[in-house]
């Protein structure tokens, strides 16, 4: 029996598919699997086609498959647009009143229920068709009614009884069609990448968040806004991203640990503020969620096209920290560090995500060992001795912080070149000293980061062929690396670039294949600039992440 399960659910946008995807993830978690949920939706509020693929596995996964075990269809598009997801083993569950199954290949197990008639009979609302089909799915897959009941109870905020009633109809009217292996649940939380980033920032002591809504990072704004009272947070939806960045710097100057969130278009507006943070040495965290461009591009789809933009954004030369987590646990862990680094090194700190990481759901293993070590990064604070100078030259290379309303300290920050006290200067010698001091913080950070896993190696670690990936491609590459005997190298920190660790990770590799969700190979562009080889590139830039099947096919073309 298979220890991997993949379930598709689709329908019209606005019909509750999003919530059903989450419930399916929880059901599959409850029967003992690690889950990953890919979500595909158009930039439309109502009426377009939307779907989710929920995959469960006994191992940690962060990728979905193309072909599915169960296809739950709430509208005709689910069959017409997703023929490629149906194999001979697929079980199709569908709304028999609205969907024609004539085009399904012969021999496919398909079972229809009159969803609308059922909800009418119980005087339920149209959105509860989802509950009926969830009931139908559980029965078909051999999942106990009690499992579904428990999950609906824990997650239905209204009309619980009615949801249970219609779900029961679905359950009772369906036969077991393809039994799924059930084991004891590890009860892992199901979080999105955005949730993980949010919690990681809070874990580091986040005090304020500024944003203007933009897919795919709006979820962070929503969650933090809802947690503002609990965590005593200042959450501000400002007039535009320029204000977002500048407000954040005002907050940070006054001592508040602050982050901002956006996507490429909003980040364009933030770049003057970013450069200010570099010059004035204001700690700020930028969560940058990539999506396909140029310009508005495909707003609700995924890509990795803002790496080079984010690395070089902003006038002038200044150090920045940038991390590109590859899954929820990494996102949590490194978001905590990103805020700590911003404050210790007084520099902008990026968490680079994309739609795929931000909005997919993951099983979150809070027992992972990386969460057990206490972090030792603390900001340098003024010792209250002598005259305070915001930009004092110190042996450590970092000027101690003080914040307004600190007695006996006059805290002056400046976007112009400035002296130690923060007063404007145009002197050549002061300019050089200050620029060297600021840039040197990048070297100090690079040195400290040697103690961290800035580059991860997975798969067959001594294989001669290495797949190099970053961000959300981590999971799909690891699974295939293990299957095909490849070495997987994932730089997690991208600035300051971890030269030593990356060199070490590639030691003995004779062929390197870069896997990226962009059209030009942005990471390969950077690493080849440092003198590394990039023999082949597998690039996907249609807004969709790689499925396991797709990447395997591309890899096999390049392997002997």
236 sits near other proteins (criterion: CB under 8 A): yes
Burial of 484 from C-beta contacts in 10 A (0-12 / 13-18 / 19+)? middle
Site string for other proteins, 163-182 (x = CB under 8 A): --------------------
188 sits near other proteins (criterion: CB under 8 A): yes
Choose, by CB under 8 A, the member of 107, 123, 158, 229 that binds other proteins. 229
Q: Is the CB of 73 or the CB of 279 nearer to other proteins?
A: 279
Stretch that binds other proteins, among 134-142, 248-256, 472-480, 492-500 (CB under 8 A): 248-256
Beta pairing partners, 70? 7, 91
Q: Is the CB of 177 or the CB of 199 nearer to other proteins?
A: 199
Choose, by CB under 8 A, the member of 47, 105, 205, 508 that binds other proteins. 205
Stretch that binds other proteins, among 212-220, 246-254, 483-491, 495-503 (CB under 8 A): 246-254
Q: Is the CB of 212 or the CB of 321 nearer to other proteins?
A: 212
7 sits near other proteins (criterion: CB under 8 A): no
Footprint of other proteins on 254-293 (CB under 8 A): 254-256, 258, 272-273, 276, 280
* Phi-psi domain of 408 (left: phi exceeds 0; alpha: psi -120 through 50; beta: other): left
Beta pairing partners, 306? none
Q: Is the CB of 411 or the CB of 467 nearer to other proteins?
A: 411
Q: Is the CB of 93 or the CB of 246 nearer to other proteins?
A: 246
R_g over Cα of the chain: 25
Q: Which of 14, 162, 173 is nearest to 93 (CA)?
A: 173
Question: Min. distance of Cβ 246 from other proteins in angstroms?
Answer: 4
Which 3 state secondary structure label does DSSP give 171? Answer: helix
Choose, by CB under 8 A, the member of 249, 354, 479, 516 that binds other proteins. 249
Q: Which of 177, 10, 112, 13 is nearest to 104 (CA)?
A: 112
- Tokens of residue 114, six digits: 């009159």
Stretch that binds other proteins, among 45-53, 233-241, 444-452, 468-476 (CB under 8 A): 233-241
Burial of 102 from C-beta contacts in 10 A (0-12 / 13-18 / 19+)? exposed
Choose, by CB under 8 A, the member of 19, 406, 456, 528 that binds other proteins. 406
Stretch that binds other proteins, among 157-165, 229-237, 530-538, 544-552 (CB under 8 A): 229-237
Distance CA 233, CA 356 (A): 27
The residue count for the chain: 560
Number of residues that bind other proteins (CB under 8 A): 66
Question: Min. distance of Cβ 231 from other proteins in angstroms?
Answer: 6
Stretch that binds other proteins, among 78-86, 298-306, 408-416, 477-485 (CB under 8 A): 408-416
Choose, by CB under 8 A, the member of 104, 127, 238, 370 that binds other proteins. 238
Choose, by CB under 8 A, the member of 182, 227, 484, 519 that binds other proteins. 227
DSSP line for 185-215: -----EEEHHHHHHHHHHHTT--EEEE---T
430 sits near other proteins (criterion: CB under 8 A): no
230 sits near other proteins (criterion: CB under 8 A): yes
213 sits near other proteins (criterion: CB under 8 A): no
CA–CA–CA angle 554, 557, 560 (5° rounding): 135
370 sits near other proteins (criterion: CB under 8 A): no
Beta pairing partners, 490? 456
Sign of CA dihedral 479, 482, 487, 490: positive
Please enumerate, as own/partner, the contacts of 412-415 that have beta carbons within 8 Å and a separation of 24 or more. Answer: 413/253, 413/280, 413/281, 413/282, 414/279, 414/280, 415/276, 415/279, 415/280
Question: Min. distance of Cβ 242 from other proteins in angstroms?
Answer: 7
CB-CB contact of 53 with 8 (8 Å) = yes
Q: Is the CB of 249 or the CB of 479 nearer to other proteins?
A: 249
389 sits near other proteins (criterion: CB under 8 A): no
Stretch that binds other proteins, among 34-42, 87-95, 253-261, 488-496 (CB under 8 A): 253-261
Q: Which of 352, 306, 364, 363 is nearest to 326 (CA)?
A: 352
Q: Which residues contact 39 (CB under 8 A, 6 or more apart)?
A: 18, 21, 50, 51, 52, 359, 360, 361
Q: Is the CB of 228 or the CB of 484 nearer to other proteins?
A: 228
Stretch that binds other proteins, among 37-45, 122-130, 411-419, 447-455 (CB under 8 A): 411-419
232 sits near other proteins (criterion: CB under 8 A): yes
Q: Is the CB of 409 or the CB of 446 nearer to other proteins?
A: 409
147 sits near other proteins (criterion: CB under 8 A): no
Stretch that binds other proteins, among 235-243, 308-316, 319-327, 532-540 (CB under 8 A): 235-243
Q: Which of 502, 492, 497, 439 is nearest to 466 (CA)?
A: 502
Choose, by CB under 8 A, the member of 416, 432, 443, 461 that binds other proteins. 416
Phi, psi at 488, each rounded to 5°: -110, 125
Distance CA 353, CA 538 (A): 20
422 sits near other proteins (criterion: CB under 8 A): yes
Q: Which stretches within 211-295 are classed as H helix?
A: 218-231, 241-253, 264-280
Q: Which residues bind other proteins (CB under 8 A)?
A: 187-191, 195, 199, 202-203, 205-208, 210, 227-234, 236, 238-240, 242-244, 246-256, 258, 272-273, 276, 280, 364, 366, 403-416, 418, 421-424
């Amino acid at each position: 029996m298979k220890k991997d399960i993949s379930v598709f659910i689709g329908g019209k946008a606005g019909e509750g598919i999003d919530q059903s995807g989450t419930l399916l993830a929880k059901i599959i978690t409850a029967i003992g699997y690690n889950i990953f949920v890919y979500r595909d939706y158009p930039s439309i509020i109502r009426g377009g086609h939307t779907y989710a693929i929920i995959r469960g596995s006994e191992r940690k996964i962060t990728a979905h498959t193309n072909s599915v075990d169960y296809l739950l269809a709430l509208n005709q598009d689910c069959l017409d647009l997703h023929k490629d997801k149906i194999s001979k083993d697929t079980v199709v569950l569908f709304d028999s009143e609205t969907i024609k199954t004539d085009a399904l290949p012969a021999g496919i197990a398909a079972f229809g229920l009159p969803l609308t008639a059922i909800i009418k009979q119980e005087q339920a609302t149209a959105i509860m068709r989802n509950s009926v089909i969830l009931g139908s799915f559980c029965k078909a897959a051999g999942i106990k009614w009690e499992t579904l009941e428990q999950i609906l109870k824990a997650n239905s905020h209204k009309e619980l009884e009615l949801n249970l009633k219609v779900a029961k109809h679905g359950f009772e009217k369906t036969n077991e069609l393809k039994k799924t292996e059930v084991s004891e649940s590890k009860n892992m939380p199901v979080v999105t990448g955005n949730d993980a980033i949010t919690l990681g920032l809070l874990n580091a002591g986040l005090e304020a968040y500024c944003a203007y809504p933009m897919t795919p990072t709006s979820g962070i704004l929503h969650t933090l806004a809802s947690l503002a009272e609990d965590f005593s947070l200042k959450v501000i939806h400002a007039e535009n991203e320029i204000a977002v960045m500048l407000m954040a710097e005002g907050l940070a100057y006054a001592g508040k640990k602050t982050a901002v969130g956006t996507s490429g278009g909003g980040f364009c507006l933030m770049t003057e503020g970013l450069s200010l943070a570099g010059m004035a040495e204001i700690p700020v965290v930028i969560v940058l969620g990539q999506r396909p461009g140029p310009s508005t591009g495909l707003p609700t789809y995924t890509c990795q096209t803002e790496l080079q933009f984010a690395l070089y954004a902003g006038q002038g030369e200044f150090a920045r920290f940038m991390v590109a987590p590859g899954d929820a646990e990494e996102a949590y862990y490194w978001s905590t560090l990103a805020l700590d680094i911003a404050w210790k090194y007084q520099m902008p700190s990026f968490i680079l995500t994309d739609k795929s990481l931000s909005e997919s759901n993951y099983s979150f293993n809070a027992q992972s060992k990386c969460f057990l070590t206490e972090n030792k990064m603390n900001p340098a604070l003024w010792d209250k001795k002598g005259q305070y100078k915001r930009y004092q030259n110190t042996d450590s290379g970092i000027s101690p912080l003080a914040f307004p309303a600190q007695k006996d300290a006059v805290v002056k920050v400046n976007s112009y070149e400035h002296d130690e006290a923060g007063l404007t200067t145009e002197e050549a010698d002061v300019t050089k000293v200050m620029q060297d001091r600021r840039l040197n913080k990048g070297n100090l950070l690079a040195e400290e980061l040697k103690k961290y896993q800035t580059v991860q190696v997975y798969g067959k670690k001594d294989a001669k062929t290495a797949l190099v990936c970053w961000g959300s491609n981590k999971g799909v590459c690891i699974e295939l690396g293990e299957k095909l005997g490849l070495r997987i190298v994932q730089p997690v920190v991208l600035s300051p670039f971890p030269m030593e660790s990356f060199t070490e990770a590639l030691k003995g590799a004779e062929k390197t294949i870069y896997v990226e969700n962009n059209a030009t190979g942005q990471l390969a562009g950077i690493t080849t600039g440092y003198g590394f080889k990039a023999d082949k590139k597998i690039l996907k830039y249609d807004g969709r992440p790689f499925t396991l099947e797709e990447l395997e096919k591309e890899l096999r073309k390049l392997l002997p």
